[in-house]
Amino acid sequence: MQRKKKKKTGGFKAQAERRFETVVEKLKSRDADGLWVSLDNCDLHDSSMATLTDALASNTTVTSLDLSHNSITSEGAKALFGALGAGAASDLIELDIRGNPFTSDDHKSLAHLWSARKQLTVLVGALKSAVPAVSVSPFALQANSIADDEEEEEEHICSNGKGYNSPLIMQFFQMGNDDEAKPNGVAVEPEEPEEEPELVAERLWGQVEQELEKDSGTSYVLSDALREICSAIQVEMAGLQLPMLDSTCADDFKPHTTHAFRRLHLLPAVLDRVPRPVVWPSSNGIPQAAVGSHRLAVAEMGALLVGAGAVVLDEAVAGTGITPRLVHLCFAHPANNALHAVTLKLLRAALSSKISDLWRPLLELEMGAGVSDCAAGQSAVPPLQRQLAAVGIAAADMPQGRRLPLSGFVVAVAALLQAHSRDGLASGILQERLEGDEEWRDFTEEGGALQRLLQEQEGGDLGGPRPRAEPTLDAPPACYGEDGEEAAALPNGSYMFNCRELMGMFRHMPQLSVTPRG
């Protein structure tokens, strides 16, 4: 790491202006070297924000932007936050604006920015102060450790692609010294006295109830409370002998499980909260419908409680009707792998339960919960087995790489239903319902679509077909299938590599000159 004292010369403003102009040109041209951009101590004012936000509007390369130690006030901050909230710099994951004359109201407005850009971490506060900086991130506002024993200011060389001393790089490319102090601006969890589990559970569910009393919308308070509840239930379950006995009652549960059992009636209301559309790095600035981490937490909580094997818990979860609603969300959000994974976990536990009401409604019209899809012009959603058959048959006739993102989830659920219909607690009723559906029989017949899809996964490489020829950076292969099957090529012109080939490319890349922390 190169370190030297900054020289204060009469041409400081001229140098700062040239530096700013150079960075703006790189941002506009989407220069590949502009991943880590530093404009710290660059004499930036509110008037500079219009030029900067214009350059960021179409940029898709910058991931870390340092605007610390400048003169940006409330007016400039609002312009910057508004542009980022609208989708500017779609790949940005770290913004450092410490050392600027913000007010407490500006800090509060960062919560609105985070609600639109949950992947973005913003560092605010004083650079050389005993007051800790604040990091706005998906895990709410946390304290940051700001080292104040450094006497010399560092000259960052980030905009030229050599910013290996960036905290963002150090976070992922560590060379040891992990036990030493964290670099400036990295969020650390504050130490708090441990609360009694009963009080913690009461406080968390109180937060959930308060958020649900609001008219509409979601907030990180609701999501964080539900995720913390899930973590606490998981810890309690890890200390138990599972599955529980049939004679287990509510009084036998530990505090967090008990409070969850008593408040399961709140979960449908949580699922009703539709989050605002968000801008993802791959959405080209266009807001996309979001699932919401609060809904993921509901699915995780259901999977944990049903997985315990207690009849009283299974009956309570079945009474909420959350299972069919979560399955419907999976079809409504075909690209959300996190939702698919946790819902599949819930289905696996439900099909192993003695309470058939957990899964039987899924095989009925509207999936037993009055689920409708007005946007698609349908009065009611078909039973689960018909939805699986429709997507699965279509996927089997398409080449890998062009199938719906939902295809993997469909194959996994169909295989799960098929297995439990042959053997298990649900085999009798489940087999009768499935075999009575003509579309399901066509999907699962010998040599049918499901069998072909499952055979693709047996002994093959994950991630789709292998390239026919060795991939090179300057000469892409003509196609990615076998025997010249051009249909397997990706529609956007990108290239497909397996893990072995990708690691081989990394080995031939120049090694990063990362300086160990400490």
Q: What are the extents of the domains in the chain?
A: 12-172, 197-457
12-172 fold = 3.80.10
288: which DSSP letter?
A: B
Pairing of strands 36-38, 64-66: parallel
Q: What is the pLDDT of residues 115-167, one digit of tens each?
A: 777 778 888 766 554 344 444 443 333 333 333 333 333 333 333 334 444 44
Residue 474 pLDDT: 47
CA distance from start to end of the chain: 12
Contact 210, 199 (CB under 8 A): no
What is d(CA 69, CA 99) in angstroms, rounded to the nearest whole number?
4
User: Would you list the DSSP string of 331-342?
Assistant: HHSTT-HHHHHH
Proportion of the chain above pLDDT 90, given as a percent: 21
506: which DSSP letter?
A: H
Query: Would you place residue 63 in the very low, low, confident or very high pLDDT band (cuts 50, 70, 90)?
Result: confident
pLDDT, average across residues 168-190: 44
User: Would you list the DSSP string of 385-401?
Assistant: HHHHHHHHHHHHTS-TT
What is d(CA 13, CA 16) in angstroms, rounded to the nearest whole number?
5
**Is 409 or 174 the better-scoring residue by pLDDT?**
409
**Is 104 or 393 the better-scoring residue by pLDDT?**
393
- Tell me the average pLDDT of the chain: 74
From residue 43, give the alpha-carbon distance in Å to each of 39, 49, 102, 107, 360.
9, 12, 16, 21, 65
Contact 316, 264 (CB under 8 A): yes
Strand partners, 243: none
Residue 155 pLDDT: 37
47-51, 157-161, 194-198 — most confident range: 47-51
Strand order in the sheet with 94-96: 36-38, 64-66, 94-96, 121-124, 134-137, 140-143
CA angle 449, 451, 456 (to 5 degrees): 95
Helix, strand, coil share (%) of the chain residues, nearest 5: 45, 5, 45
Segment holding 358, helix H or strand E? none
Looking at the predicted structure, is the pLDDT value of residue 290 above 90? no
Backbone angles phi, psi at 135, to 5 degrees: -110, 115
Residue 427 pLDDT: 67
Residue 344 pLDDT: 92
Residue 204 pLDDT: 94
Residue 104 pLDDT: 55
Count of beta carbons in the 10 Å neighbourhood of residue 509: 7
Pairing of strands 121-124, 134-137: antiparallel
Count of beta carbons in the 10 Å neighbourhood of residue 397: 9
What is d(CA 95, CA 329) in angstroms, rounded to the nearest whole number?
33
18-22, 316-320, 482-486, 488-492 — most confident range: 316-320
Residue 298 pLDDT: 94
What is d(CA 494, CA 473) in angstroms, rounded to the nearest whole number?
11
Residue 191, both tokens: 């130490």
